[in-house]
Amino acid sequence: MNKYYMGIDIGSISTKGVIIDSNNDIVASEYLWTEGNPIEAVKKVVSSLYKQVGDINVVSVGTTGSARYLIGKILGANTIKNEITAHAIGTMSKVRNVKTIIEIGGQDSKIILINNGVVTDYAMNTICAAGTGAFLSSQAKRLGVDIKDFGSISKKSTNAPKLSARCSVFAESDLVHKLQMGYKKEDVIKGLCDSVVLNYLNNVGKGKKILPPIVFQGGVSKNIGVKESFEHELGEKVIVLDNGHLMGALGIAIIAKKSKKEKRFDFNIKDYNFITKGYECNGCANNCEIVRIFKDNTIIDTYGNKCEKGKIKSSENTVV
């Protein structure tokens, strides 16, 4: 029987999932909004993947992203890795000689530098919202424009103003000021695209040697205006893959494929009720915040502990 491998990338804004075959080819994929509920989002992703492929022999599961530990426990994943590693592996499977990965998501952004297939440096920005997908979406709403049309509208610009790239608050007030001065909407949108790039290069990419091939991914990569601004500032071609939004999920699936601990995945996971409960362990001076995971009212696992005192005990594994 053929073997398949699942990768789930759970972010604060979106959740992505793929199933790959032994050749790392994607046979099923899904992308949807997390909507503040990673457990329900993942159940929907798994359900969609199942509808696409049926009850195939998935023998290994990997999770990455901000909720990777929680979802990894629920899915019984045998591989849980950070998004830097997952994005690098996924991207290198498509662009083998990639040297720079630019990633701008809904609420954060990152840069990954690669040399001879090895990650040599990286940086992340999770503090300021300026330049992220959420920031652009809010400005699109303010301008009465569909965010999907941002790129095509920006291409009509002939006189783009310079907008503040320091933070979202300054950029937003600057945008309003430029509109009041009489700048056209397409010029302001082009100015926004440029400010996103300058914010990224001055913060996330500061001090980094950005070498080609350069791959741009994350939700903002679909904005042709931002892509063209990167190319202008860097003086290099920027690659945007059709499935670039799936690179984290693809990467963690490829990593999971290498695991020796194979176990057939139960797609019925979508039918179970999962809840989490947190508490502070006072077993030692660490005072760890422990998260208990319940499956149909039975504890199946815990995480967050820094010592043995916070681990789940057999006596606790009972219906509550």
Q: Which residues, given as ranges, of the chain have pLDDT below 70?
A: 126-131, 164-172, 312-320
* Global pTM value: 0.84
Yes or no: is domain 4-90+248-271 CATH 3.20.10.10?
A: no
d(CA 12, CA 41) in angstroms, rounded, equals 11
Q: What are phi and psi of 14, to 5 degrees?
A: -130, 155
Q: Which residues of 39-56 are buried (b: 16+ CB within 10 A; e: fewer)?
A: bebbbbbbebbbeeeeeb
d(CA 251, CA 256) in angstroms, rounded, equals 9
The CATH classification number of 97-240 equals 3.30.420.40
Helix (H) or strand (E) holding 181: helix 168-181
Can you give the pLDDT at residue 128? 61
Q: Which residue type is seen at 19?
A: I
Q: How far is CA 244 from CA 200, 215, 286, in A?
A: 19, 9, 40
Hunting for tokens 């950005």 — which residue is that? 210
Hunting for tokens 């696992």 — which residue is that? 301
The region that residue 241 occupies, defined by phi over 0 for left and psi between -120 and 50 for alpha, beta otherwise, is beta
Residue ranges matching CATH 3.30.420.40 in the chain: 4-90+248-271, 97-240
The residues, ordered by sequence, that sit 6+ positions from 25 with a Cβ below 8 Å of its Cβ are: none
